[in-house]
Amino acid sequence: MRRGRLYLQLLIVGLCILGAGWYFYPRRFLPDPRALAEAETRMWQAYYGDDPKLLATELVSVLREQYGLSYLRAAQIGSDLLDATLAFQRNRDNYEEAVLPHLERAYGRLRSAHGGSWDAGEAARAELDWWAARRTPGRDNPEEVGRAIARLYAILYGKSNARIQEAGYLRARAANLRDRGGLAGPDGDWSEIQRLLEQSYTALVDGVR
């Protein structure tokens, strides 16, 4: 699979991911958009630069510092998300058996840690849907991927509005910019990617207040 087509999850992302799953805190504890965008950009750079140690370090740091998790819980959730990312990377189909269980565990742990009310299976399927959308011709554009991300936000926060929809779209645009090689060479225009991510998280914070 071409590396540029695999969006770092979280998250992280991505997840890519950036993320993907570790970005969404269920209790109105709202992260710092700039700090989170900077951290996610570093994670994308680590992922595409084949630096798994830095990626893991950044992921655990984000889960602890931005979402208030203990080191143990952050490491557990981070491990689940990394397992999901690797399984997705290895498989072109059969996602429900290969990828979904890891995502369900991650969302279940996150829900338990912070008293979330979402269904872990539903959240995991929504997460997997936008990952798959980025691999599917006709769905791999920022508009479609952004709508899929916004659906995940709606499940996690129990609401949807224009700012939440905008947050999904901006995050999808950042991923698309990286996939296309950006504006400054094959490694992407990281400053522009970070700017889009910060705008995305700012919109998300506004939307869930």
Q: Is the pLDDT confidence value at 124 over 60?
A: yes
Q: What is the CA radius of gyration of the chain?
A: 15
Residues 115, 142: contact at Cβ < 8 Å? Answer: no
**If pLDDT is split at 50, 70 and 90, which confidence band does 13 have?**
very low
Most confidently predicted of 60-69, 70-79, 111-120, 145-154: 145-154
pLDDT score, position 64: 84
Q: pTM to 2 decimals? A: 0.82
pLDDT at position 69: 82
Instruction: Determine how many CB atoms are found less than 10 A away from the CB of residue 158.
Output: 12
Least confident of 84-88, 129-133, 147-151, 165-169: 84-88
Confidence of residue 30 (pLDDT cuts 50, 70, 90): low
- pLDDT bucket at 14, cuts 50 / 70 / 90: very low
Checking if the pLDDT of 184 tops 80, the result is: no
Q: Indicate the pLDDT class of residue 166, thresholds 50, 70 and 90.
A: very high
Q: What is the 3-state secondary structure (H, E, C) of 67-131?
A: CCCCHHHHHHHHHHHHHHHHHHHHCCCCHHHHCHHHHHHHHHHHHHHHCCCCCHHHHHHHHHHHH
The residue-averaged pLDDT of 89-94 equals 86
Is residue 169 within 8 A of residue 207, CB to CB? The reply is: no
Cα 37–chain centre separation: 11
63 prior amide bond cis, ω within 30:
no
CA distance 18 to 144: 17
Q: What is the pLDDT of residues 189-209, one digit of tens each?
A: 899 999 999 999 999 989 988
Can you give the pLDDT at residue 6?
Answer: 40
pLDDT score, position 151 = 96
For residue 183, pLDDT beyond 60: no
pLDDT > 90? residue 101: yes
Q: What is the pLDDT of residue 188?
A: 56
pLDDT score recorded for residue 206:
93
Whether 127 contacts 103, CB under 8 Å: yes
